[in-house]
Amino acid sequence: MTDLLQLTFSGLTTGAAYALVALAFAIVFRGTRAINFAQGEYVMVAGVSAGALHAWLDLPLAVVVAVVIVVGALCGVLTELVCVRFVRRDDPHTVTLATIGLGVAIKAVALILTDRKAYTLPGFSGDTTLHLGGAAVDAQALWNCLLVVLAAGGLAVFLRAVPLGVALRASADDAEMAAASGFSRRAAAAWSFGIAGALAAAAGAGLAAVSPVNYDFGTLLGLKGFAAAMLGGLGSMPGAVVGGFAIGLLEAWFSGYVSSAYADIVAFAVLLVVLFSRPTGIFAAVRVERV
């Protein structure tokens, strides 16, 4: 029982990060119909720069988190500049391929700048452990879940009540029509990538507080976040949150009860099962193309 509780909390901690990344995938997919493979690298950039900022400048934690969220948003805007504007063709296929190239490049720059060093953040409320039903769990799990609640809630309000958010929804629904009424596809893409970057950065800060992060930790994480987005239904916001936590929990339970060596495979096994059996995911948001 204490095992289960402990595993569940560690599942929630990483699951929250997957949920944030999956939300970011959803936003970009809705705004551009492309899949942003540089996503995982934003998480890495945010995690590493949070750790580095904390180590060099000794800034208060809240400031560090705020700064890296801005950094993440800038990464997102950079992606739009490189993968949509520079490439000059805005079909989703080309943009998706370009994000793979950009992701590889971002990771390479991080490798050179950090020289393979790993960085950490302290827990958001120190190294507090909570004692629940005989299990000692890291309080960071709750912080990470709170980040998801804030992000998902904020997005829900933003997309419904703020004019810009409403325009984004309109563009996701019918890009031509939205463009005709003054909200261009370019604008939709830029905002979507920017928001996605900020979301991924929150995930990065939350993860750096749990374990050391280095230039290499973003790729696999991004791909797992993508699996989470697919499980929930690509483009669906509630789906992204559910998918993220589901993958995090499955992974944690699998590593506790079956094998920790193979735990990384869980997310991709889920991805394949979803693609082969129900490509629209749990909350179908888009029509899937089948032969």
Cα–Cα distance, 277 to 198 (Å, whole number) = 32
16 binds another protein (CB under 8 A): no
Query: Could you say whether residue 264 binds another protein (CB under 8 A)?
Result: yes
Q: Rule CB under 8 A: is residue 79 a binding residue for another protein?
A: no
Report, in Å, the least distance between residue 113 CB and another protein.
11
Neighbours of 182 (CB within 10 A): 8
Which of 27, 35, 196, 285 is the binder for another protein (CB under 8 A)?
35
Q: Is 135 helix (H, G, I), strand (E, B) or coil?
A: strand
- The binder of another protein chosen from 98, 121, 137, 200 (CB under 8 A): 98
Angle at 225 between CA 34 and CA 289, to 5 degrees: 40
Find the part of the chain contacting another protein (CB under 8 A) among 3-11, 44-52, 84-92, 147-155.
84-92
Check residue 93 for interaction with another protein (CB under 8 A): yes
Task: Give alpha helix (H) positions in 90-217.
Answer: 92-114, 140-161, 163-173, 175-180, 185-208
Instruction: Report the DSSP beta bridge partners of residue 219.
Output: none
List of residues 6+ apart from 112 with CB closer than 8 A? none
Q: CB of residue 192 vs another protein: minimum separation in angstroms? A: 17
Q: Does 45 bind another protein (CB under 8 A)?
A: no
Please give the Cα distance from 37 to 12 (Å, whole number): 23
Site for another protein in 110-169 (CB under 8 A): 111-112
136 has which bridge partners?
131
CB closer to another protein, 158 vs 268: 268
* Of residues 256 and 279, the one with the C-beta less far from another protein: 279
- Which pair of structure tokens corresponds to residue 80? 């739009």
Residues that bind another protein (CB under 8 A): 35, 82-83, 86-89, 92-94, 96-98, 100-109, 111-112, 219-220, 223, 226-227, 230, 261-262, 264-265, 268-269, 271-272, 275-276, 279, 288-291
